[in-house]
């Protein structure tokens, strides 16, 4: 089966510019996550969707980050305006949401953002 797809793979922008990342989860996966992974750190959850509703966005810097999951499938994460400290890999992941949920998250390859 196809895995989680993300684009773009790499993005370089200057501070105060905006950027958007796209994610297409595995077909049939109700739950979608965006994680931020700064160099040398583990992934940190930014936002979790179940279908098209937000389950948890407590770690999302809402003054500059936004995310949506229209129609409960694809998702977009936007940063506007970007800061230097936003340089990171943005990982999208998806999982089943069912009684058989094993807790396994399936990750995309990530989108590497460099803010200059």
Tell me the C-alpha distance between 73 and 87, whole Å.
Answer: 26
Binding-site member from 48, 77, 79, 115 for another protein (CB under 8 A): 48
95 is an interface residue for another protein by CB under 8 A: yes
103 is an interface residue for another protein by CB under 8 A: yes
Binding-site member from 79, 82, 105, 115 for another protein (CB under 8 A): 105
Closest CA to 80 of 22, 16, 1: 16
8 is an interface residue for another protein by CB under 8 A: no
108 is an interface residue for another protein by CB under 8 A: yes
Binding to another protein, residues 52-71 (CB under 8 A) = 55-56
Contacts with another protein by CB under 8 A: the residue count is 27
CA angle 110, 45, 99 (to 5 degrees): 95
Q: Shortest distance, CB of residue 28 to another protein, whole angstroms?
A: 15
**What are the residues binding another protein (CB under 8 A)?**
3-4, 31, 33, 40-45, 48, 55-56, 91, 93, 95, 97, 101-110
């Amino acid at each position: 089966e196809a895995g989680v797809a993300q684009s773009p793979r790499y993005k370089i922008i200057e501070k105060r510019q905006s950027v958007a990342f796209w994610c297409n989860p595995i077909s049939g996966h109700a739950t979608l996550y965006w994680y931020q992974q700064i160099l040398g750190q583990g992934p940190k959850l930014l936002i979790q969707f179940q279908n098209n509703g937000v389950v948890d966005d407590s770690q999302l810097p809402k003054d500059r980050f936004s995310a949506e999951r229209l129609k409960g499938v694809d998702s977009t994460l936007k940063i506007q305006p970007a800061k230097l400290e936003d340089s990171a890999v943005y990982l999208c992941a998806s999982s089943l949401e069912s009684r058989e949920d094993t807790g396994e998250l399936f990750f995309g390859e990530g989108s590497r953002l460099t803010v200059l």
